[in-house]
Amino acid sequence: MKPISLTQFLIEQQREGRINADLRLLIEVVARACKRISIAVGKGALGGVLGSAGTENVQGETQKKLDVLSNEILLEANAWGGHLAALASEEMDDPHPIPDRYPKGEYLLVFDPLDGSSNIDVNISVGTIFSVLRCPEGVKNPDEKAFLQPGTQQVAAGYAVYGSSTVLVLTLGDGVHQFTLDREQGNFPLTHSRLRIPEDTSEFAINMSNMRHWEPPMRRYIEELLAGKTGPRGRDFNMRWVASMVADVHRILTRGGIFIYPRDLKDPGKPGKLRLMYEANPMAFIVEQAGGAATTGRERILDITPAQLHQRVPVFLGSKNEVERVTGYHLAADRAGEPA
């Protein structure tokens, strides 16, 4: 049977009363923008888009040309449809208002336009991550404060991976669905419904080069995995690290695993590398909807009330039993009063 397209899927969701016309339009527009980004990424050196843009974002990171281009594509695509009240992005210091000449809608869109961008120039998968919130009632010109809602308030979240194929993974709060870009037809047929992350896994994803900066419970957990069959876990564990969160999370959604970017004492001012609002929250929503778990090592990610748009958090997500185990190690160390 021919798979249904993203458009059909969204219309069905609307008919079932799960989303309204504005949210349907929003997801369609984001998917269209992802298609354009996918085309730009796919051109590689031929598109003249590789390399640095020579600018820095608010986090002090050097922007790649494709970071800037992807951000512009998402901004432009979403400005005029009337479905948004404002947008915010990893690449912009402050929220971006909808220009006055366009109607405003009830949603807020937050995104990382090109996640894993250190991988662009070496032809490894990158992606886009997005999260949708409701604009608080009565707020006409949403500022940063309007965005500072816990992840439990997300009405939709998703990501695209620009890899050997381009996939779009989406949750509207009722399971996780995967669409694959048909490059000839230009649409996104539904290729997997109701993805489930196995509760157990023997695969972990972490940047091991930071090990000396980790907290003791974190080191304990990884040392036990590395000890393999003859260690306390009694089995061998495999490791994978793409250094693109989208690609690592997508592998976990496909075959299980645990992804960790822990708190790092290298820079005590930073409670983690990844950003809460446009990396951790949308991924946590997706992972929970697929039966997995997502914590900071101490608390559920989706329960955090953000204090800042670009706030960072430690991230532990994926197969439930592993996330619960390593979270338990952190909480036990805290209870025992172990120094960090």
**Among 23-31, 41-49, 193-201, 237-245, the segment contacting ligand AHM (CB under 6 A):** 237-245
Helix (H) or strand (E) holding 317: strand 315-318
Residue 83 phi/psi, 5-degree rounding, is -95, -10
Please indicate if the annotation marks 297 as binding a ligand: no
Apex 184 CA angle, 181 and 186, nearest 5? 50
**Following DSSP, what letter does each residue of 152-208 receive, concatenated?**
GG-SEEEEEEESSSEEEEEESSS-EEEEE-BTTTTB-BEEE-S----S--SEEE--G
| 3-class state of residue 14 by DSSP | helix
Minimal distance in Å, beta carbon 118 to ligand AHM? 6
Please indicate if the annotation marks 321 as binding a ligand: no
Among 8, 55, 123, 207, binds ligand AHM (CB under 6 A): 207
Among 211, 243, 265, 331, binds ligand AHM (CB under 6 A): 243
Should residue 112 be labelled a site residue for Mg ion when binding is judged by CB under 5 A? yes
Should residue 116 be labelled a site residue for ligand AHM when binding is judged by CB under 6 A? yes
Burial class (CB in 10 A: 0-12, 13-18, 19+), 56: exposed
How far is 71 from 88, CA to CA, in rounded Å? Answer: 10
244 binds, among Mg ion, ligand AHM, none (CB under 5 to 8 A by kind): ligand AHM
Minimal distance in Å, beta carbon 207 to ligand AHM? 4
Our measurement of the distance from residue 171's CA atom to the centroid of its chain's CA atoms, rounded to an integer in Å, reads: 12
Determine contact, residues 167/250, Cβ cutoff 8 Å.
yes
Please indicate if the annotation marks 207 as binding a ligand: yes
What binding mask, one character per residue, do residues 83-112 give for ligand AHM by CB under 6 A, x or -? Answer: -------x---------------------x
- The size of the interface with ligand AHM (CB under 6 A), counted in residues, is 13
Residues that bind ligand AHM (CB under 6 A): 61, 90, 112, 115-118, 207, 243-245, 261, 273
Binding residues for substrate: 115-118, 207, 273
Binding residues: 90, 112, 114-118, 207, 273, 279
